[in-house]
Structure 1
Amino acid sequence: MRVLERQFNGSRLREGRIYRGYTITDLANELEVSKQMISKYENNKAVPTFESLIQISNLLKFPKEYFYENSIEVKTGNTYFRSLLTTGKKEREMQYDRVKYLTIIRALLEEYVDFPELHVPDFSERDSENVEEIANRLRVEWGLEDKPIKDIVFLLETKGFVISSLNLDKRTIDAFGSQHEVNGKQYYSIVLGNDKGSFYRRQFDVAHELGHKVLHDPYLNLDDLSKDEFKQIEQEANDFAAAFLLPKESFLRDVSIHPNDLMYYKLLKKKWCVSIGAMVMRAYKLGAITEGTYQYMQRSISQKGWRTKEPLDDIKDIREPVSMKQAIELLIENNYITGDEFMQKLSQHYGLSLYREEVEELLGLEEGYLKTESVPLKDNIVSIKDRLESKKQIK
C-alpha cells in the first residue's frame, strides 16, 4: 500500500508571513537563517526542518497543518480600502487573506445556515455616470425611500454582504472590502476596524465600501492606476456614500432650515445618523451653504476639536455585525456541531487549518466560544484503586 506524504506548501508560508505583517528579513532574523533560505522555503526549493517548522508555527500563530494545505479555490477581486492613499502597501497586503479566510468560513457556514442572498443591482451597464442618480436607484431597489438609514451594517447584512469587525491596529485603515467567488458563488466581504469608536463614522465607512461594490470593477488592478485615478475612485465612493446616506431632496429640506448653524447639525446628526463633518460637506455640495460659509464652518469644527471627536460620538453604541455570529451560535447552541467539529471541517473540507482563537476573532465571538468542553465518562466499569487514591492524598 502506497503511503501519501504531505508536501510542505511554500506559498502558505508566504501567505501566513504576510498575514502577520512579517517581511522576509523579519522572518529570517527570527529563525536565524538567511533571507535566501526563507525565499527557498516559499518557492518550494527547500523544506524547513521540523524544529524550524515549530518555530514558524509559534511565531506566525498558525497550526503546523496550515503549512501543508491548499485551500479550496477562491477567485478574489481587488481589495478596496477606505483612505486608500494613506494605506501603505504592506498594511494592505496584511488584510488580503484576512478577508479571504472570512469568506471561506462563510461558505462553510452556508452548508448549515440560510443567509440572505447577495442582492446588489448590476450598474456596470449603467446609462449614467451620475453617482447621485445611482445611489438613488439603489435606495429605490432596496425600498429605502428617502428615510434615514439607522444601521447600515444591519442593512447590508440583510442584503447578503459578509461583514466582520476586527481590531486592525492600523490607524490608516478604517474599512476594506473585496469580491470573492467560492464554489461558483459570488460573495462581497467587508471588514471594519473596531478601534475607531464612532457609530457615525462607521456608517460612512460602510457606505463608502458599498460605493466601491456598486461603482467599480471588482477585478480592477489598482497597481495600474495613477495617483489621480486613485483619488477619483475614492472621491466617487465618498460621493456615493454621502448621496446614499443623505438623499438629496429630503436632506435639503432638513438642512435648509438652519444651514449655517453648527448646533443645528448636531440635531440633524440624531436623525440622519451621519457625522456633522459629512453633513456640512454634503450641504456645501448641494448648494445649501456658500463656499465662504463652508470654510468658516470647517474652521469652527477644527477649533471645537470635532475632527477627532464630535458631539454624540460617545453616546451612541457602535453597531457590530451579527449574521455570522448568529449562525455559529445557532449551530453550537442547538448541538448541530461542536467547536472542534467546525474547526476540523474547516481544515479537512476547505483546506484551512486555523487556531480556534483566529476564527473567534474573525466571527466576533467571545474568546473560548469554540472550545469544546470535555465530557466526563459515565457508568465506568473500572475505577482507580484505593491505594493509588491514598497515595495522591499523601502527596
Structure 2
Amino acid sequence: MRIGTPGFIPARLTEAREARRIPSKAALARRLGMSATTTSRWEDETSGQTPDNATLIRLAGELGVRPEYFLRPPFHSDRPTFLRSLASTLVRDLDFQKAQMHWLQEISFVIGHYVDLPEVDIPDVLDGASYTQLRDEDIEEIALRLRRHWQLGEGPCGDVVAIMERIGIVVAAIPMNTTKLDGLCSWSPIDGRPHVLLATDKMSFPRRQMDAAHELAHAVLHQAVPAEEFQVNLRSIEQQAFRLGSALLMPSTTYPKDVRHASLAMLVSLKERWRVSVKAQIKRLSDLEIIPEEFSRQLYKLYSAKGWSKGEPLDQHWPIQPPRALRDSLNLIVENNVRSKADLLATEFTISSTDVEELCGLPPGWFDRDAAEVVSLKRHPADGPGVHYDDAEVIAFPDRRPHPWSGRSS
C-alpha cells in the first residue's frame, strides 16, 4: 500500500512551481534531488500518487509555502485571464503571472472575511450586445458614459489605480522580472470580483496609467467573454481594451482641443497636463484621425531616433502611489485586534509572508514587526501646579509680519 498525503491537490503543486518560475517538473525534481518521474506523478491528478508527510514538508520548504497550501483548492476560474500574450514572452513568465494572480485572489478572499471591500461598480455598457459588435465610435461613447458614471469629468484623469480600487476592483503591483509583461485582469471564481495585477518593472506614472486603464477596459468590456473565444479573438479584444483605455485617459470631447499642432514638443507639453505618454498620444491622435497615418509614422520614427523608447521626458516627474485597499485592510484587521499577524500567517495564509507583503503592497518585514502601541506621556512633578493638561487652551503666536500697507519692515 502506497503511503501519501490524503487530500493532496496536484494542481496546487503546479501552481506553486509556476509561481516560483521553476520551468518544469524535472527542474523541481533536480532541486529536491529526486526522480523526475516521481514529481511528475505528484502533478498528475490521475496517478493517485502523493508525497508522504516528510516529503510534503520538504516540498513546502523548497517552494516557500506552508504544507497546508497543498490541501486547499486552487483559485482557478473558467473565465479567461486577460494578458497580453506576446510570441516573444516565455511560457514560464506567463505561467508565473497567472499563478501570482491566483494568489492575489486567495489573499483577497481571506481579507474579505474581515473587511468589506468596496462594492463593484462597473455599469453594463454593452446593453445586451456582444463585444464583437462594438465599433470604434461605440467605444468612444462608452468612455464618456463611464466618466459620467464615475464622476470623473472630462479633463485629465486622476490616478487610475485609485479609481479602480474605489469601484471595487482589487489591484496589486509587483515586479515581474521581465519587461515583456505589463498587466493582467481576471475575475475571482468565488465572488466574481475583478482583480488586476500590474508590473512595476521600469514603471513610470504615465505608463502605469495606460496599463491600468487597459486592464480596467477589460473589466468593463470583456467579463462575459468565453474562455474558448479568448485566443481566437485576442487581437480584437486587445485593440478594444487599448482603445477604451486611451479614450478614458484622453476623452474625444476635450483632449483634441488641447492639440494646437502635432509635434513631439507639443506632446511633451500635453504629457505634463494629461499624464499620458507621448507614444500613447501619437496613437490616440491617429485613432481620432487628427493626424494621418503617414504623419504618425514620422512621429514614431523621430520618437525612436531620440531614444525615447527607453524613457521619455517627464517619466519620473510624478511619484507612483502603490495600491492601498489590501494594505489598509490588513492594517485595519491587525490594529483592531481582529486577528494578529501570527494568526493570519498560521491559519489564513498558506503562502509566505514575503509573498503576502509584496502582493498587498506592505513594507518588507511587516509581518515580523510588532503592532504599534499607543502610549501616553507621563506627567512630571517639576511641571508644577501652573501646567494644565486637561482642557488646555491653545495660544497663537502674535503675527510679526509687516502689514501689507503699513510700510514697516520686521
Q: TM-score range by the shorter chain?
A: 0.7 to 0.9
| Number of the residue aligned with 1:380 | none
- CA drift of 1:210 comes to 1.2
What SS is found at the alignment partner of 2:197?
strand
Alignment coverage as a number of residue pairs:
359
Q: 2:68 aligns with which of 62, 65, 68?
A: 65
The alpha-carbon distance between structure 1 residues 72 and 80, as it changes in their structure 2 partners (threshold 3 A), is closer
The alpha-carbon distance between structure 1 residues 154 and 251, as it changes in their structure 2 partners (threshold 3 A), is same
- CA drift of 1:222 comes to 5.4
- CA drift of 1:97 comes to 3.0
Q: Separation in 1 of the partners of 2:115 and 2:281?
A: 39
| Number of the residue aligned with 2:36 | 35
- CA drift of 1:77 comes to 2.2
TM-score w.r.t. the length of structure 1 is 0.84
Q: Separation in 2 of the partners of 1:197 and 1:72?
A: 30
- CA drift of 1:72 comes to 7.4
Q: Separation in 2 of the partners of 1:45 and 1:367?
A: 39
What SS is found at the alignment partner of 1:160?
coil
| Number of the residue aligned with 1:356 | 353
Q: Kindly, what percent of the aligned residue pairs are identical?
A: 31
| Number of the residue aligned with 1:293 | 295
| Number of the residue aligned with 1:282 | 284
Matches within 5 A, 1:1-395: 6-22=6-22, 23-43=24-44, 45-67=48-70, 69-71=71-73, 75=77, 77-82=79-84, 84-124=86-126, 125-126=128-129, 129=134, 130-182=138-190, 185-221=191-227, 225-226=231-232, 229-255=233-259, 257-259=260-262, 261-347=263-349, 353-371=350-368, 373=370
Please, which runs of 5 or more residues in structure 2 have no aligned partner?
Answer: 372-410
- RMSD value, Cα: 2.4
- CA drift of 1:206 comes to 0.7
Q: Separation in 2 of the partners of 1:358 and 1:174?
A: 19
Residues 292-328 of structure 1: per-residue CA shift (max 9 Å, x gap): 3222211111111111200001221123111111111
What SS is found at the alignment partner of 2:322?
coil
1:84–1:234 Cα contact (<8 Å) kept: no
1:186 maps to a residue whose letter is G
Higher relative contact order (CA 8 A, sep 6+): 1
Please, which runs of 5 or more residues in structure 1 have no aligned partner?
Answer: 348-352, 375-395
What SS is found at the alignment partner of 1:204?
helix
1:340–1:372 Cα contact (<8 Å) kept: no
Q: Separation in 2 of the partners of 1:170 and 1:110?
A: 31
1:76–1:178 Cα contact (<8 Å) kept: no
1:83–1:174 Cα contact (<8 Å) kept: no
- CA drift of 1:98 comes to 1.8
What SS is found at the alignment partner of 1:192?
strand
1:329 maps to a residue whose letter is N
The alpha-carbon distance between structure 1 residues 230 and 309, as it changes in their structure 2 partners (threshold 3 A), is same
Residues 324-371 of structure 1: per-residue CA shift (max 9 Å, x gap): 111111222333321112223415xxxxx1222221111111122123
2:352 maps to a residue whose letter is Y
- CA drift of 1:51 comes to 5.0
What SS is found at the alignment partner of 1:248?
coil
What SS is found at the alignment partner of 1:178?
strand
Residues 260-291 of structure 1: per-residue CA shift (max 9 Å, x gap): x2111111111111101111111122122233
The alpha-carbon distance between structure 1 residues 138 and 86, as it changes in their structure 2 partners (threshold 3 A), is farther
Q: Separation in 2 of the partners of 1:345 and 1:324?
A: 18
Q: Separation in 2 of the partners of 1:97 and 1:336?
A: 29
- CA drift of 1:49 comes to 4.3
1:171 maps to a residue whose letter is T
**Which sits farther off after the overlay, 114-123 or 89-98?**
89-98
- CA drift of 1:217 comes to 4.1
Residues 83-120 of structure 1: per-residue CA shift (max 9 Å, x gap): 65543433222222321221222222223223211110
1:173 maps to a residue whose letter is L
Q: Separation in 1 of the partners of 2:82 and 2:172?
A: 15
1:92 maps to a residue whose letter is L
1:105 maps to a residue whose letter is I
Q: Separation in 2 of the partners of 1:266 and 1:253?
A: 16
Residues 234-255 of structure 1: per-residue CA shift (max 9 Å, x gap): 1111111111111012011111
